[in-house]
Amino acid sequence: MNALQVELGERSYPIYIDSNIYNDLSYFQKHIRGNKVLVVCDSNTAQHYLQATLAMLSDYQCQSITLSAGESQKTLDTVSQIYDALMQYKFDRNCTLIALGGGVVGDICGFAAATFQRGVTFIQVPTTLLAQVDSSVGGKTGVNHPLGKNMIGAFHQPACVIADMSTLRSLPPRELKAGLAEVIKYGLIDDAEFYHWLNDNLQDLLALDTDKLAYTVTRCCGNKARIVAADERESGQRALLNLGHTFGHAIETAMGYGNWLHGEAIAAGMCMAARFSANSGFLAEEIVDSVVNTFKSVGLPTEPPADMTSEQFMDLMYRDKKVRDNVLTLVLMNDVGGAFLSSTFDTELLRTTLFQTLNK
């Protein structure tokens, strides 16, 4: 079993990474607060994992709520359903929420935990690769606004993260590929060695090689834990984790939440960030090609949707959370493993690059 620690003072917590642990009480027990537990899952994870989870928690006053699946459900209305359940079951502050599912369930459940009675304990049990390597770690919680992704939210760290490799076996191939987009991101940001390892091992990961998956999740979480520990509230370097995300969020918002998976949108977004980095003179053309080929070999999109326009991109990107006083900070690259923040890039060149990519 691999265990990592996210070092955040009194808010520090462990990430457990292994197989067949999602229903092992010994991992949960010391992190559950109080006697009342609400398991939050969606229609997919309910089918596979809810029964065993409830059986594991039979010594607690345990309730569950099953949300409809998909990014389109990541709304304030869905959070309200969780509040309703908590109130109906008379949960008090001394309770624990368990997010059993992918990134959407984790983000919604985490935000409910952040805001119910001004904050209660929650545990992340990510069941998708994307949630295991990224969204379950770091305490970003929240929901979407019709005009922008993740616009409503709070920082609220989980009590622990339990990443079970065996849950990845129930994952549809499209979701697995989407998760690999976030995995590749860690290589591109500051871990070139891992990027090269990935290029040699992507097909084994797609074939669900358990050891290689565990290695991958451990490496990604290690990278993320280090970055989050240094900058919990994203006042600086944590923003590097958003490589490809400003482009990607624009795609997700424009196409309607859930039509492009988050991983698909940021794969195209990272290719666009690489292309713009090259056009700006920061990145060699052959690295753009390598990046694009890596995403292609996984079967991920490397171009934005053909029906978006450059003006639509500009408009949506300038609503991003990384805009300050109308100045956008983008994550650009000068090498594989060499991501950096730039707020002094050439805005007109960005517009031109988008126009060239989209021909409109």
Query: What is the number of alpha carbons within 13 Å of residue 357 lying toward its C-beta?
Result: 27
Which of 48, 145, 212, 351 touches a copy of itself by CB under 8 A?
145
Per the residue annotation, which of 71, 182, 232, 252 is the catalytic one?
A: 182
Position among 43, 47, 68, 94 found at the interface with a copy of itself (CB under 8 A): 94
CB nearer to a copy of itself: give 95 or 100.
Answer: 95
Residue 343 C-beta: closest distance to a copy of itself, Å: 12
Q: Which stretch binds a copy of itself (CB under 8 A): 87-95, 209-217, 224-232, 332-340?
A: 87-95
Q: Binding to a copy of itself by residue 80, rule CB under 8 A?
A: yes
Question: Across the strands, what pairs with 328?
Answer: 323
Per the listing, tokens 């304030």 go with 76
Is residue 118 a contact point for a copy of itself (CB under 8 A)? Answer: yes
Instruction: Rule CB under 8 A: say whether 34 interacts with a copy of itself.
Output: yes
Four-residue CA torsion sign, 88, 94, 98, 103: positive
| Cα gap 270→302, rounded to integer Å | 8
- Residue the block writes with tokens 């079993």: 1
Any contact of residue 148 with a copy of itself (CB under 8 A)?
yes
3-10 contacts: CB < 8 A, separation 24 or more?
Answer: 4/218, 4/221, 4/222, 4/225, 5/225, 6/137, 6/138, 6/157, 6/225, 6/228, 6/229, 7/225, 7/229, 8/157, 8/228, 8/229, 8/232
User: Looking at beta carbons only, is 63 or 127 nearer to a copy of itself?
Assistant: 63
* Least distance to a copy of itself, CB of residue 101, Å: 21
Question: With binding defined as CB under 8 A, does residue 282 bind a copy of itself?
Answer: no
Tokens (6 digits) for 331: 């994550």
Residue 321 as a binder of a copy of itself (CB under 8 A): the answer is: yes
Residue type at position 134 = D
Please list the residues that pair with 331 across neighbouring strands: 341
Instruction: Tell me if residue 242 is catalytic.
Output: yes
Q: Are 137 and 64 in contact (CB under 8 A)?
A: no
d(CA 6, CA 110): 17
Q: Of 1 and 147, which CB lies nearer to a copy of itself in the complex structure?
A: 147
Q: 208 or 323, CB closer to a copy of itself?
A: 323
Which are the contacts of 183, defined by CB distance < 8 A and separation ≥ 6?
A: 129, 133, 198, 205, 216, 220
- Which position among 177, 224, 275, 322 bears the catalytic label? 224
Burial class (CB in 10 A: 0-12, 13-18, 19+), 157: buried
CA distance 262 to 258: 8
Binders in 195-224 for a copy of itself, by CB under 8 A: none
Quick one: angle between helices 285-298 and 192-206, nearest 10? 20
Instruction: Name which position in 52, 55, 87, 230 contacts a copy of itself (CB under 8 A).
Output: 87
Interface map 237-276 toward a copy of itself (x if CB under 8 A): ----------------------------------------
Show the binding pattern over residues 35-54: x = contacts a copy of itself (CB under 8 A), - = does not. xx------------------
Q: Of 87 and 207, which has the nearer Cβ to a copy of itself? A: 87
Angle ∠(173,255,69) on CA atoms, nearest 5: 50
Number of residues that bind a copy of itself (CB under 8 A): 37
Asked if 351 contacts 310 with a C-beta cutoff of 8 angstroms, the reply is: yes
The alpha carbon of residue 203 and the mean position of all alpha carbons in its chain are separated, in whole angstroms, by 22
From 1, 9, 58, 147, residue interacting with a copy of itself (rule: CB under 8 A):
147
Identify whether 182 is a catalytic site residue: yes
Would you say the C-alpha torsion 69, 130, 168, 296 has a positive or negative sign? positive
Catalytic residue list contains 262:
yes
117 binds a copy of itself (CB under 8 A): yes
Q: Is 359 a catalytic residue?
A: no
Residue type, 248: G
Is 235 one of the binding residues for a copy of itself (CB under 8 A)? no
Given the rule CB under 8 A, which residues bind a copy of itself?
A: 34-36, 76, 80, 83-84, 87-88, 90, 92-94, 114-119, 140, 142, 145-148, 151-155, 318-319, 321, 323-326
Catalytic positions are: 118, 140, 182, 224, 234, 238, 242, 245, 249, 262
